Amino acid sequence: LRQAPREAPPSGRPVLIVAGFNSSWDGDTSGDILGDGFDERRFSYRGLDDHDRPVPYGPGDTQRSVPALVREMARQVEAIRAATGQPVDIVADSEGSLVAAAYVAATGGGAVDRAVLLSPLVEPARVSFPEPGTDGWGVATGWVLRGVSAAVRGVTSVEIAPVLRPTMPNSS
């Protein structure tokens, strides 16, 4: 029987580091981001192994539903809490911020002491296009979205409408 390698006992405040969409992690745990005083653990989009260690992941592994990632985060936060006996802090970036915020909202955050959200996705799935009658990037997209919105309004009471936002000036 092969035994799992022994890890040094955790020291410092436990922190789960969560990268964003299309990120990857090769399993290297030698580079501390936060410095002394923290027990840093990486969130793995692929999950934990049989010994509750994060599994290396690639960009394709980040392309999972938010509910699935929230369940995975719950599993990983609980594993860290069980190993350390302390509440866990979360430092998350971009899509990781969206997952962390959804996790705290879904669970009440009982196992989490603090969450730091860096570069959060404020309005996921947004697009920009110019107003009708103007020129610029996204003219065709604007017409398609307005057409889809009109078609949906014709068959249901659900109101979806493209929201006009200022766009970048045409740089051509």
Look at the alpha carbons of 102, 34, 47, 26 in this order and tell me if their dihedral is positive or negative.
positive
Q: Which strands form 13-18's sheet, in the order they lie side by side?
A: 38-42, 13-18, 88-93, 112-118
- C-beta atoms surrounding 88 within 10 Å: 24
- Range with the largest mean pLDDT of 30-34, 69-73, 111-115, 164-168: 69-73
More confident residue, 8 or 140: 140
How would residue 110 be classed by pLDDT, with cut points 50, 70 and 90? Answer: confident
More confident residue, 122 or 110: 110
Q: Is the pLDDT of residue 131 over 80?
A: no
**What is the reported pLDDT for 135?**
73
Q: What is the mean pLDDT of residues 138-146?
A: 71
Mean pLDDT for the chain overall: 80
More confident residue, 86 or 126: 86
Contact 126, 51 (CB under 8 A): no
Q: What is the mean pLDDT of residues 140-149?
A: 72
**What is the reported pLDDT for 146?**
73
Distances (CA, A) of 9 to 26, 28, 83, 144: 22, 17, 9, 57
- CA nearest neighbour of 95 among 72, 122, 75, 129: 122
Cα Rg of the chain, angstroms: 21
Q: Is the pLDDT of residue 8 over 50?
A: no
